[in-house]
Chain A
Amino acid sequence: MSTARSAAAGTTGPFDVVGDRVLVGVQVVDISRLSTHPVPVTTQGLVTVAGQGPKDSNGAGKSSFIAALSLLHADEQWRLASGASGAAELLFTAELAAQESRWSNVDRGYLIGVFAMPGATSAEELADDTVTVWLRINRKAPYIDLRWHDGLYVPYGESESDRAGRADEMWRSLPRSNGRTDFHANQLSKVLFGQHARCVSFLSTSVRSSPTANLLAQPLNDLAPQRIFDAIATLTGLDRELDHEQVLRSAEHRHRTTVLDAEKDLADWERDMAVVEAGIARRIKARELLDEARQAWRSRCARHLLDGVEQAHHLRSRLNTLSESIDEIRAEIQGVDDQLAALSDDDGAVRRFDAARKARQELLGRDRELDAGHQAATQNLERLTTRLRELTDAARTTDGRDVETARAEEAEAKTALEEAIAAHGVAKAAEAQARTGIAAAEAGDDVATEQRERLREAGVPAAALVDVVEVAPDERDSWEPRLTPYRHAVVVARADAERARAALADLPGSVVVMAEPAGDEPAADDAATADGATETPATFDLSAFLAAVAQRSGEQAVVDGEAGVLVVGGFTEPITGRASRVAAAESEHRARVAAVEDARAALDTARAALDTAESRTRAARAAEEADAVRSEIAELREANEQRQARRDELAPKLAEAEDVYARELGVRDSRDERIAGLRQTRKRLEHTLSEREAEMFRLTEERDAIGLLDREKAWGDTPEAAEQHLSELGDEQSRTTAEWDEYACRLTNEVAVGCFPPSTPNDEMTAELRELLVTQNWHGGSLETRVGLVQPLQRALRAHLDDTEEHDQHQRQQITEQRTRRSNDLSAARLGLAEAEQTARAHRTSLASGIKAMLTKVGAEFDRLDQEYGGYGAGLDFPEPEPPAEPDKPWRWTVTPKWRRAEGQRMSAYTLRSNTAQMDEKAVKLVCAAALARGGDRPLLLILDELGRNLGKQHRREAVALFERIGNDHNITVVGALQDDMERYAIEASGLYVKLRRRSDTMAYNEEPVIVGDDANRARVQLLRDWLTSYRPGDVAQLGG
Chain B
Amino acid sequence: MSDDDALWWAKVRSGGPQRVTPDSAYPAGMTRLVEPDARAVWLLPDLPDNARPDVLEELGLSGFPVDQRGDTARVLASCLRCCWSEPSGPIWPGTSASLDDVAASFRAITDTRDDRARHAALLGAVRRLAASGWVGFDEEQRTVRLGPRVAAWNAAELSTLRELWRSMP
A and B touch in the complex (CB under 8 A): yes
Q: Which residues of A are at the interface with B, using a C-beta cutoff of 8 A?
A: 79, 82-83, 85-86, 88-89, 93-96, 100, 104-105, 139-143, 184-185, 209-210
Chain A min CB distance to B91 (Å): 14
A105 touches B50 (CB 8 A): no
B159 touches A85 (CB 8 A): no
The residue that B49 contacts in the complex, of A104, A141, A142, A209, with Cβ under 8 A, is A209
* With A94-B163, A209-B154: A79-B50 Cβ-Cβ less than 8 Å: yes
B57 touches A105 (CB 8 A): no
A83 touches B163 (CB 8 A): no
Across chains A and B, the number of contacting residue pairs, with CB separation under 8 Å, is: 47
A82 touches B156 (CB 8 A): no
Complex alpha-carbon distance, A94 and B166, angstroms: 12
Given A100-B163, A105-B163, A141-B54, 17 more A-B residue pairs with CB atoms under 8 Å apart are: A79-B49, A79-B50, A82-B58, A83-B50, A83-B55, A83-B59, A85-B50, A85-B156, A95-B159, A95-B162, A141-B57, A141-B58, A142-B58, A143-B58, A185-B58, A209-B49, A210-B48
* With A209-B49, A210-B49: A85-B163 Cβ-Cβ less than 8 Å: no
Chain A residues within 8 Å of B55, by CB: 82-83, 85
Chain A min CB distance to B167 (Å): 8
The answer, yes or no, to whether B160 is at the interface (CB within 8 Å) is yes
A100 touches B58 (CB 8 A): no
B162 touches A100 (CB 8 A): yes
Complex alpha-carbon distance, A85 and B56, angstroms: 12
B160 touches A100 (CB 8 A): no
Chain A residues within 8 Å of B48, by CB: 210
Q: Which residues of B are at the interface with A, using a C-beta cutoff of 8 A?
A: 48-50, 54-55, 57-59, 154-156, 159-160, 162-163, 166-167
15 A-B pairs with CB atoms under 8 Å apart are A79-B49, A82-B58, A85-B50, A85-B58, A85-B156, A86-B49, A89-B156, A94-B163, A95-B163, A96-B159, A105-B163, A141-B57, A141-B58, A209-B49, A209-B156
A83 touches B58 (CB 8 A): yes
Complex alpha-carbon distance, A184 and B167, angstroms: 30
Chain B residues within 8 Å of A105, by CB: 159-160, 163
Chain B residues within 8 Å of A210, by CB: 48-49
Chain B residues within 8 Å of A140, by CB: 57
Complex alpha-carbon distance, A83 and B59, angstroms: 8
Complex alpha-carbon distance, A94 and B155, angstroms: 14
Chain A min CB distance to B77 (Å): 15
Chain B min CB distance to A953 (Å): 38
* With A89-B156, A140-B57, A142-B58: A82-B50 Cβ-Cβ less than 8 Å: yes
Chain B residues within 8 Å of A94, by CB: 163
Chain B residues within 8 Å of A184, by CB: 58
Chain A min CB distance to B87 (Å): 10
Chain A min CB distance to B156 (Å): 5
Closest to A105 in B: B163
B49 touches A139 (CB 8 A): no
Complex alpha-carbon distance, A209 and B159, angstroms: 14
Most buried by A among B59, B159, B160: B159
The residue that A104 contacts in the complex, of B59, B154, B163, with Cβ under 8 A, is B163
- Please classify the interface of chain B as helix (H, G, I), strand (E, B), loop, or mixed, using the class held by over half of its residues: helix
Most buried by B among A82, A86, A209: A82
Closest to A79 in B: B50
Complex alpha-carbon distance, A82 and B154, angstroms: 16
Complex alpha-carbon distance, A93 and B162, angstroms: 11
* With A82-B58, A83-B55, A83-B58: A88-B163 Cβ-Cβ less than 8 Å: no
A88 touches B50 (CB 8 A): no
A93 touches B159 (CB 8 A): yes
Complex alpha-carbon distance, A94 and B163, angstroms: 8
Complex alpha-carbon distance, A209 and B160, angstroms: 16
Chain A residues within 8 Å of B156, by CB: 85, 88-89, 209
Chain B residues within 8 Å of A82, by CB: 50, 55, 58
Chain A residues within 8 Å of B154, by CB: 209
Chain B residues within 8 Å of A86, by CB: 49
Complex alpha-carbon distance, A82 and B54, angstroms: 10
Complex alpha-carbon distance, A100 and B162, angstroms: 9
Chain A min CB distance to B88 (Å): 9
Chain B residues within 8 Å of A143, by CB: 58
Complex alpha-carbon distance, A209 and B50, angstroms: 11
Complex alpha-carbon distance, A942 and B166, angstroms: 40
Chain A min CB distance to B161 (Å): 11
Closest to B48 in A: A210
Chain B min CB distance to A241 (Å): 26
Chain B min CB distance to A87 (Å): 10
Chain B residues within 8 Å of A89, by CB: 156
Complex alpha-carbon distance, A812 and B154, angstroms: 66
Chain B min CB distance to A91 (Å): 9
Closest to A96 in B: B159
Chain B residues within 8 Å of A104, by CB: 163, 167
Chain A residues within 8 Å of B155, by CB: 209
Chain B residues within 8 Å of A96, by CB: 159
Chain B residues within 8 Å of A139, by CB: 160
Chain A residues within 8 Å of B162, by CB: 95, 100
Complex alpha-carbon distance, A100 and B163, angstroms: 8
A100 touches B166 (CB 8 A): yes
Complex alpha-carbon distance, A209 and B158, angstroms: 14
Most buried by A among B49, B50, B155, B162: B50
Complex alpha-carbon distance, A85 and B154, angstroms: 12
A85 touches B54 (CB 8 A): yes
Complex alpha-carbon distance, A89 and B159, angstroms: 10
Complex alpha-carbon distance, A79 and B54, angstroms: 14
Chain A min CB distance to B108 (Å): 19
Complex alpha-carbon distance, A139 and B164, angstroms: 13
Chain A min CB distance to B53 (Å): 11
Chain B residues within 8 Å of A100, by CB: 162-163, 166
Complex alpha-carbon distance, A1039 and B54, angstroms: 51
Complex alpha-carbon distance, A88 and B157, angstroms: 10
Chain A min CB distance to B95 (Å): 21
Complex alpha-carbon distance, A308 and B149, angstroms: 90
Chain A min CB distance to B19 (Å): 28
Sorted nearest first, the 8 A-B pairs with minimum C-beta distance are: A83-B58, A82-B50, A141-B57, A141-B58, A82-B55, A79-B50, A89-B156, A105-B163
